[in-house]
Structure 1
Amino acid sequence: MKKWLGAAKHSATSSTHSLSALEEPQAHVETAEAELSKGNSPFHKLGQGVVAFLRATLGFEQDIMREASERLGQAESAAYDHQRRADKDAYHSKIYPPGSEYARCLAESQLMSAVVAVLNESLSESIKGFYKLRKAYVALQEIADAEKRYLKGRSSTSVGSTSTKSTVNSAPSVASTSNAPSVSGQTLVAQDEDDDDDFVDADESIAAAATPTTYQGHLESKELESKLGNLSIRPASSSTQVPAAPVIEEDDFSEFSNHPVDLFIHSGSNLCFGLLQLMLSLIPPAFSKLLYIIGFKGDRELGIQMLWRATQYSNVNGAMAGLIALGYYNVTVGFCDITTSDAYPKERLTTLLFQMRKRYPESRLWRLEEARMMAADKQLEDAVKMCGTDEKSPLKQVEALQWFEKSLNCMYLHRYEECATSFLTCVELNNWSHGLYYYIAGACYVELYREAKSVDAGRAKRYADRATELLRKVPVHAGKKRFMARQLPFDAFVTRKINKWEERSKTRGIAFVDAVGVAPVEEIIYFWAGFKRMRKEHLVHSLERLAWSEQDGCHDNAVDELATLSLLRATVTRWLGDTATARRILETQVLNHEWSEFKGGNKDNWSLPVAHYEMSVIEWIDAGGERGNKQQLEICSRWVEKAAKWEAYD
C-alpha cells in the first residue's frame, strides 16, 4: 500500500485494496472514517468525501455542507494529481486508458461537489455547482469514449462478436461539439487546461433588486435570468443536447472484464451519468437557463436506467445508486398524483431494497427507505415502527430523518401528541427548518385542544397553552434558511399564517388559539401528499376534523378560509374514490370565486390555483390514466397548464 500511495510504481493489487476502502461508509461510519483517514489515495479521499456528502445531503446543515465541500475538494485534487501522473506500471485495462480510475474519482467528486453547491444558500455558489456539473460530464465522457473505441476495435478484429449484445452509443457528445478537450489517445485528460476552481461570476457591481423577504410562488427571478444570461462557457453556436452515456450494458460487461478496477470505473460511470441526467431533468422550467451553463439537458428515463444498471454492482457505486433510485421513487414520484401505471416499479424496488438490506444489514438508511415504502403502501403503523429510534444512529442526519419520517406518519395517523413530540425531537437533531417543526407541533396541540375543549376544560387549557407557546416560536425561527438565495416556501407560509392568526385574535378580541383557522394539520398533510398514504379510516378521520372546522366557525366566513376547507374536503373525497362529488365541491365552492377575492393582507391564496391542479387529477382519474379517453386527457393537460402558469402565490 505504501508503494502504491507514495512511490512511482503502482500495483493493480493495491488499487483493488484501496477500492475496497470505499465500501466502509455503508456500515459503521466512525470506523469507516478512522480507516479512510489512514490513507491519502484518491480512493480514501473519495470515501471521506462520500461520508461528508451523505451527511450534507441528508441534513442540509450549512456547517456540514462546508465540511463536505472541503473534503470533496481534497478528493478532487488528489484524483486530478494521480491521474496526471498515472504511469505505465499502473494497472493496464484493455478497455480504459491508464488513469481512468482516477478520472472516475474526479468526476464523482465534482458531481457530489456540484450537488452540495446547488443546495447551498448562496445563489452564486449554486451557479458554481452547475458549472461543476459540466466539468464532471467532461471527465465522464472521456470514459464513455474509451468504451466506444474498445468496442469499435473489438468488432473490427472479431466480426459480429459484440454486434448482437453491445452497441456503440451514437448520441452526440458535448465533448466533441463544444470547447471541451478531446481524448489524447493513451492517457485521459482530466479537464480543460484553464479549468481551475476560480469561477468568474456575472458582474455583481450592477445594481439589482433586493432578495424578496417572502416566497414569490413560482421560482422566477429577473435577477437570476440576468446573471445567467451573462454566463457562457461554450460556443454560442452549440445547441443544448442530451449527453451520451456509457455504451456497455451491465449484462454484457462481464464478457469484457471482471477486474475490480474496470468494474469500479464502469459502475461508477453509470452511477455518475445516471445521477447527472436525473438531476438535470428535474430542474424547474424557471431555472432552465442554468442548462446553458452546462451545455446540455437531462434525460430522466436514461438517467434512471443507468442508476438501475449501477445497482447491480456490489460496491459503493451500487449502494449509492440504490439510495438515489429509492429516494427518487419514494420521495419524488411518491408525491405525484398524475403518474403512468409503470411510474412506480414496486416489485423491482422491493427486490432492490431486500438486496441492499442483505448487503448492509446494519445500515439504517435502508430501514428508512423501507419505512417510506411501507407508508406508500398505506401501512402507516408499520412505517412508524420501522422508524423506531431507540438505537442511536452513527449518522445524526439519518437519525433526524428517521424522526422526521416518523413525525409525518404519525401526522397522517392523526396521532397528534406523538407527532408533536417527534417534530420537537427534530428541532434538537437538525437545524434546517425549526420554524416549520414548531408550526406543525403547535398545530397538533391546536387539534388536541379542539378535541378536548368540550369534554375536559383542564386538559383543553393545557393543550391551548402549549399550542400558543409553540406557534409563537415560529416567527423567531422562520426565514433564517435560504435555498439559492430564496426564503424557503414553507417558512414564508407558516410566518404568514401566524401573522394572520395574531391579527384575527386582536381584531376579534379572542385567545390566539381560538383565532387559528381551518384544520392546519390537514393543510400540512395535503402539502406532504399525506392523503395518498392514508387508508379509508384515516381519510374519514380527516373529513371529521374538517367538519369540526366548518361547524365551529373558525373559518370566520372568510372566502379564503372557506375555499381552503372545500379544497381539502374535495381532495379527501377524491381519495375515497368519489371523483364526482370532489369535482362538484371544487366547481361550486372554490373555482366559482375570482382571483381578486384571494389577494391582499394575509389571505390564503393557494387554494384557487391548487384547485385547478386538483381538477386535472380528477380528469386524469376519470379518463382512465395514460391510455384512457383522449378528450379528457386533453382537458387534464389544460388544467395542469393553467395551474403551472399561475402568478405568484404562497
Structure 2
Amino acid sequence: MSYSPHAAATQLASALRGFDHLFANEISSAKKVFASETDPFHLVGAGCLCFLEASLGLETSKMSEATRLLSLAEAGSRTALKTAAKSKSRASAAFPPGLEYEIANADTVVLLGITHALSESYMGYLQCIYAMNSAHGKFSKLYKTVFPNGLDSHTTPSITPFSWTPSVTPSPAVSPAITPKTSSSNLSLETSAFTSNSNKPAHPAAKPSLSFFSIAGRWGSGSSSPASSSTSSLSPPTPNGTLSVVEAGNPEEIQNLKNLIIAGTAFGFGLFNLVFSLLPKKAQSVAGLFGFAHSRRLALQALAVSAEYATEGEVHGVFAGLVLMTYHGVVLLLSGYQADEARIIREYEGVVRGIEARYPKGALWILNRAKILRMTYDSESAIRVLKGGLEETRKDAEGEHSEGFKQADTLLVFELAWIYLSQRQYIESAEAFIKLTELNSWSHGTYYFIAAGCHISLAHSDGVSPDEKEKYLNQAQRLLDAIPNLLDKRKMGGKELPTEVLIKKRLAFYKEKQKRRGGDEAKFAECIRISPADELGIFWNTHNRISPSIAEAHIKDWSALSPPVGIDSPYMARPPSTTTPDLDTPDELALRLLLLGIAHRSIGCVGIRIKNNSSASTEPASSSSSYIDTSGAAPESIVESTSSSFLFEELTPYADNTSACLRASRQLLSAAHALQSSIKVSTWIGGLAMFELAVLDLKEVEVEENNEKNGNSINPGSSADLKNRWKKALESARIKLDVAMALAPNSVDLSSRLDSRVVMLRDEIGMKAEMLGVTA
C-alpha cells in the first residue's frame, strides 16, 4: 500500500457523501456509503454514525458496536498514517503527507473516550480521562502544526467568540494560554459565516508569513473557491527568492483535504478542551495529574473556526456547529444566569440557521431550532417545530429512506416531553415520556417515574372529579409499581445511573410515608403530593423559563398544601386546616420551599424582559428569532417578544409584584437551605438551594439594572453605584457556590449535575466581571 493524495482525496469525497446523508436523516444511505470502502475515512464514518446512535440514544448495545467500529477506524488510520509518513508524495507544501489521517486517528480516539463520560458518573468521567490521555499529545501536536501562531492570526474576527490573543506559543504538552483583552466590547461572537447570503464564508487575506496558512490557498488567496486554489496557493520563498506553484492534482480535491485539516484540527482541539472544561471539578483534579490544561474560551474559539466550514459540508465543521449548539443550549438551560444572554441567543441562532439551510430535514437542527424557541420563552412555537419535525421524519421513514435517524428523533420527543411538562400539559407530557420507552433503551424507570408524576399532578388538579382523581392515581400507581423491575434491568456499564439511585430512594420514601400514615402501602401514590415530575424537573431546570402565569399556577398548588408555608407573597394560597398535613417530613417541606423559591424568582425576573411601554412590541416574533429590537437600540436592550405564550400583555400584570416575589424567593430558598441538617433522604436540596440563591443574587441586580435603564427604578443610582452592586453580587454568588459544592459530595444524589452547573455559572460570573472591568 502506498500513499497517494489523489486516492486520499477521492476516499474523503466519497465519505463526505455519507456524512451528507447522515446529517439529512438518511441513515440507510449513509450506512451504505460508509460500508462501501474500508479506508480510514469510511471506517471513521461508520464508527461516528454508530457513536451518534449510541450517544443520542444512550443504548448499551450501540455503544459496544460503536467502540468496535471506532477501534477499527483508529487502527486503520494509524496504519495509513505510518504509510503516508514514509511517502514523499504530498498534495502540496501546505501540509505534511498524511496529516489528514492523523486527524482521522485523533477523531476516533476522542470519540472512544467520550463514550465513557456518558454515564454521568465520576467513574465514567475518570475512564474518559484515561482513554483520552493518548489524545492529548495528538491534539496539541496538530494544533501547533496547523495553528503555529494561534487562532486569532488567521480567523475572521466576526466568528471569534472573544478577541483574545494567545500569550504564549503552544507546546505539545500544554494547551495555549490566552489573555483576555480589557475591552468588554470585544466579548461578542457573531456567526456571520452562517448569516451571510453567500454560501461560503469570506476570509481576510493573511499577512505574509511562513505559517501554515500563508502557504494554504484558502488563506493565502483570501478566497475559498476551489478553482482559485491551484493558481493562488504559493509555497514559501525558495532560496533564490522566487515563488513557485506547489499545488498538484485536482484543485477541488486539494481544497477538500485542506478544509479537513483546518476544520478537523480546530474541531478536535476545541472539543478536547471543552470536554475537559465541563468535567466536574473532582474529575478535573485527576485530569491535572495527567498534565492536562484546558481553556473553555479557547475551546469555543477553536470550534467557531471549525464551524465556518459547515456551510461547505465539511464534516468537522458540521460537528463543531452541533457542539456549539449543544453547549449554548446547555448554558441557557442549566447555568441559571447568563452574563450576556442576547449574545448567546444570536450565536446559537446563527449556527443553527447556517447548518439548517444545508440540511433542512435534519432532526438535530430541528431540535436546536426548538430549543432556541424554548429558551426565548416561546414554548408554543417550540412545540409546533418539534411536532412538525417528527411528522417530516415519519414521512421520510415511510418513503425511500426506510431507516430514519431514530436516535435523533428520540431527542425531539424528549425535548417535547419536557416542554409539555413545563407548560403543565400533563397528559401530553406523560404520553411523550412513555413514548420514549419505545424509542430507546435508556432509563425506562426514569421515564415511568416522570410520567407517574404527571398523573399525580392531574389527580390533584382543580376541578377534577373523584372518579377522575382515582383514575389518575391508579395510573400513577401502575407506573410506579413497574419501576423496580425496570431499574434492575437497566445499568450503565454495570453501575446504576445517578437518576435511578434517586428514584429508588424516593420510592422507598413514599412507601414508608404511606405506611406511617396508616394507608394501604400498595397504594402509596395516594400520599405523594409534590409531583415526582416536578422534583426531577429541578435537575433539568424546567421551572426557570416558564411564563409568569404558569409560575403562579405552580405557586398556588404548592402553597395550598398543608402545613402553611409561613412565608407570604402576592400569589400564595392558604391551605385548609387539617389534622393530617399533606407534607409531614423535612424532606418534603424543603422540597416545596425550593420549588416555590424558583417559581417566585421566575415571576420576579419578568421585568428583565419588559421594555418601557413606549417601545415595547406586542407583535409575534419571527420564526428566525424570538428577540426583536423595535427601536434600533443596542443589543443589550433587545426586547423578547414572543408569540401567544409570552406576550407583553401577559408580563405587565406581574410587573408590580416583582420586588415582592424576589424577596419571597430569597426567604424561601434560604429556608430550604436551613432545613438541610434535618433532611434524611433528599440531601441534595441544601446544595441546590444555595446554588439557586447564587443565581438570585445575580438576577436581582440584573432586574435593578433593567429598571434603571427603563426609568422604572424608585431609587436610581449612578453607574458607579450599579457597578459596585454588581461587584458585591458577584462576590456573594461565588461564596454561595463554594457552600453549594461543600454540601454536594459524591454521596449526594446527582452531585455531578450540580457540579457541572456550578462550573457553568462560575464562568458566567467571570464573564460578567470581565465585562464590568471588576474583580470578584
Provide the C-alpha distance between the structure 1 equivalents of 2:130 and 2:415, rounded to a whole number of angstroms. Answer: 33
Residue 299 of structure 1 pairs with residue 396 of structure 2: no
CA change 1:498–1:248 in 2 (3 A) is: farther
Tell whether the 8 Å contact from 1:435 to 1:478 is kept in structure 2 after alignment. Answer: yes
Tell whether the 8 Å contact from 1:275 to 1:307 is kept in structure 2 after alignment. Answer: yes
Tell whether the 8 Å contact from 1:147 to 1:247 is kept in structure 2 after alignment. Answer: yes
Instruction: Specify the code of the residue in structure 1 equivalent to 2:469.
Output: A
CA change 1:327–1:247 in 2 (3 A) is: farther
Which digits, 9 at most, give the CA deviation of each residue in 1:410-449, with x for residues without a partner?
0001111111011001111112111110011011111111
- CA shift for structure 1 position 342: 5.3
Tell whether the 8 Å contact from 1:107 to 1:272 is kept in structure 2 after alignment. Answer: yes
Corresponding position of 1:506: 515
- CA shift for structure 1 position 122: 9.4
Provide the C-alpha distance between the structure 2 equivalents of 1:363 and 1:407, rounded to a whole number of angstroms. Answer: 20
Corresponding position of 2:425: 415
Instruction: Specify the code of the residue in structure 2 equivalent to 1:410.
Output: Y
Instruction: Specify the code of the residue in structure 1 equivalent to 2:733.
Output: C
Corresponding position of 2:138: 139
For 1:385-404, list aligned pairs within 5 A: 385-388=384-387, 389-390=390-391, 391-392=393-394, 394-404=404-414
Instruction: Specify the code of the residue in structure 2 equivalent to 1:557.
Output: D
Provide the C-alpha distance between the structure 2 equivalents of 1:374 and 1:492, rounded to a whole number of angstroms. Answer: 32
Tell whether the 8 Å contact from 2:451 to 2:533 is kept in structure 1 after alignment. Answer: no
TM-score (norm 1): 0.79
Corresponding position of 2:286: 290
Provide the C-alpha distance between the structure 1 equivalents of 2:110 and 2:220, rounded to a whole number of angstroms. Answer: 24
Tell whether the 8 Å contact from 2:74 to 2:105 is kept in structure 1 after alignment. Answer: yes
- CA shift for structure 1 position 82: 0.8
| 3-state SS of 1:367 partner | helix
| 3-state SS of 2:91 partner | coil
Corresponding position of 1:426: 436
Corresponding position of 1:26: 23
For 1:35-54, list aligned pairs within 5 A: 35-54=33-52
Aligned residue among 521, 527, 536 for 2:539: 527
CA change 1:342–1:414 in 2 (3 A) is: closer
Corresponding position of 1:477: 486
Aligned residue among 631, 634, 640 for 2:731: 634
Tell whether the 8 Å contact from 1:573 to 1:579 is kept in structure 2 after alignment. Answer: no
Instruction: Specify the code of the residue in structure 2 equivalent to 1:29.
Output: I
Corresponding position of 1:644: 741
Provide the C-alpha distance between the structure 1 equivalents of 2:376 and 2:164, rounded to a whole number of angstroms. Answer: 38
Tell whether the 8 Å contact from 1:380 to 1:409 is kept in structure 2 after alignment. Answer: yes
TM-score (norm 2): 0.67
Provide the C-alpha distance between the structure 1 equivalents of 2:699 and 2:321, rounded to a whole number of angstroms. Answer: 31
Instruction: Specify the code of the residue in structure 2 equivalent to 1:428.
Output: E
Corresponding position of 2:713: none
Gaps of 5+ in 2: 151-162, 176-210, 223-231, 234-253, 398-403, 563-574, 605-657, 706-721, 750-776
Tell whether the 8 Å contact from 1:519 to 1:545 is kept in structure 2 after alignment. Answer: no
Provide the C-alpha distance between the structure 2 equivalents of 1:611 and 1:126, rounded to a whole number of angstroms. Answer: 25
Tell whether the 8 Å contact from 2:530 to 2:592 is kept in structure 1 after alignment. Answer: yes
Tell whether the 8 Å contact from 1:616 to 1:637 is kept in structure 2 after alignment. Answer: yes
Instruction: Specify the code of the residue in structure 2 equivalent to 1:619.
Output: D
CA change 1:547–1:587 in 2 (3 A) is: closer
Aligned residue among 580, 584, 596 for 2:677: 596
Provide the C-alpha distance between the structure 2 equivalents of 1:18 and 1:503, rounded to a whole number of angstroms. Answer: 61
- CA shift for structure 1 position 476: 2.3
Provide the C-alpha distance between the structure 2 equivalents of 1:149 and 1:581, rounded to a whole number of angstroms. Answer: 53
- CA shift for structure 1 position 609: 2.7
Instruction: Specify the code of the residue in structure 1 equivalent to 2:141.
Output: E
Provide the C-alpha distance between the structure 2 equivalents of 1:273 and 1:333, rounded to a whole number of angstroms. Answer: 24
Aligned residues: 561
Provide the C-alpha distance between the structure 2 equivalents of 1:638 and 1:518, rounded to a whole number of angstroms. Answer: 30
CA change 1:259–1:169 in 2 (3 A) is: farther
Provide the C-alpha distance between the structure 2 equivalents of 1:497 and 1:637, rounded to a whole number of angstroms. Answer: 31
Which digits, 9 at most, give the CA deviation of each residue in 1:21-49, with x for residues without a partner?
23332221110110111111111111111
Aligned residue among 60, 67, 70 for 2:68: 70
Instruction: Specify the code of the residue in structure 2 equivalent to 1:610.
Output: L
Tell whether the 8 Å contact from 1:123 to 1:484 is kept in structure 2 after alignment. Answer: no
Identity level (%): 25
Which digits, 9 at most, give the CA deviation of each residue in 1:509-555, with x for residues without a partner?
23422211324333233221112221222222222321343437763
Tell whether the 8 Å contact from 2:90 to 2:96 is kept in structure 1 after alignment. Answer: no
RMSD: 3.2
Tell whether the 8 Å contact from 1:522 to 1:542 is kept in structure 2 after alignment. Answer: no
- CA shift for structure 1 position 463: 1.2
Tell whether the 8 Å contact from 1:519 to 1:549 is kept in structure 2 after alignment. Answer: no
CA change 1:633–1:247 in 2 (3 A) is: farther
| 3-state SS of 2:292 partner | coil
Residue 492 of structure 1 pairs with residue 492 of structure 2: no
CA change 1:124–1:570 in 2 (3 A) is: closer
Corresponding position of 2:587: 560
CA change 1:629–1:503 in 2 (3 A) is: same
Instruction: Specify the code of the residue in structure 1 equivalent to 2:671.
Output: V
Provide the C-alpha distance between the structure 2 equivalents of 1:37 and 1:564, rounded to a whole number of angstroms. Answer: 52
| 3-state SS of 2:561 partner | helix
Tell whether the 8 Å contact from 1:62 to 1:120 is kept in structure 2 after alignment. Answer: no
Residue 447 of structure 1 pairs with residue 457 of structure 2: yes
Tell whether the 8 Å contact from 1:472 to 1:498 is kept in structure 2 after alignment. Answer: no
Aligned residue among 571, 587, 605 for 2:667: 587
For 1:613-624, list aligned pairs within 5 A: 613-624=691-702
- CA shift for structure 1 position 253: 6.5
Corresponding position of 1:360: 359
CA change 1:542–1:124 in 2 (3 A) is: closer
Which digits, 9 at most, give the CA deviation of each residue in 1:387-429, with x for residues without a partner?
2233336122112111111100000011111110110011111
For 1:375-390, list aligned pairs within 5 A: 375-388=374-387, 389-390=390-391
Provide the C-alpha distance between the structure 1 equivalents of 2:332 and 2:168, rounded to a whole number of angstroms. Answer: 30
Residue 98 of structure 1 pairs with residue 195 of structure 2: no
Tell whether the 8 Å contact from 1:114 to 1:132 is kept in structure 2 after alignment. Answer: yes
Q: Which deviates the most, 317-326 or 359-368?
A: 359-368
Instruction: Specify the code of the residue in structure 1 equivalent to 2:547.
Output: R
Tell whether the 8 Å contact from 1:448 to 1:460 is kept in structure 2 after alignment. Answer: yes
Provide the C-alpha distance between the structure 2 equivalents of 1:515 and 1:616, rounded to a whole number of angstroms. Answer: 33
Provide the C-alpha distance between the structure 1 equivalents of 2:350 and 2:259, rounded to a whole number of angstroms. Answer: 22
| 3-state SS of 2:743 partner | coil
Tell whether the 8 Å contact from 2:456 to 2:529 is kept in structure 1 after alignment. Answer: no
Tell whether the 8 Å contact from 1:275 to 1:303 is kept in structure 2 after alignment. Answer: yes
Tell whether the 8 Å contact from 1:555 to 1:561 is kept in structure 2 after alignment. Answer: no
Provide the C-alpha distance between the structure 1 equivalents of 2:661 and 2:342, rounded to a whole number of angstroms. Answer: 27
Corresponding position of 2:770: none
Corresponding position of 1:547: 559
Provide the C-alpha distance between the structure 1 equivalents of 2:510 and 2:433, rounded to a whole number of angstroms. Answer: 22
Q: Which deviates the most, 564-573 or 483-492?
A: 483-492
- CA shift for structure 1 position 598: 1.4
Provide the C-alpha distance between the structure 2 equivalents of 1:483 and 1:586, rounded to a whole number of angstroms. Answer: 38
Instruction: Specify the code of the residue in structure 2 equivalent to 1:411.
Output: L
CA change 1:287–1:509 in 2 (3 A) is: same
Tell whether the 8 Å contact from 2:370 to 2:386 is kept in structure 1 after alignment. Answer: yes
CA change 1:614–1:33 in 2 (3 A) is: same
- CA shift for structure 1 position 567: 1.9
Q: Which deviates the most, 572-581 or 251-260?
A: 251-260
Provide the C-alpha distance between the structure 2 equivalents of 1:465 and 1:513, rounded to a whole number of angstroms. Answer: 8
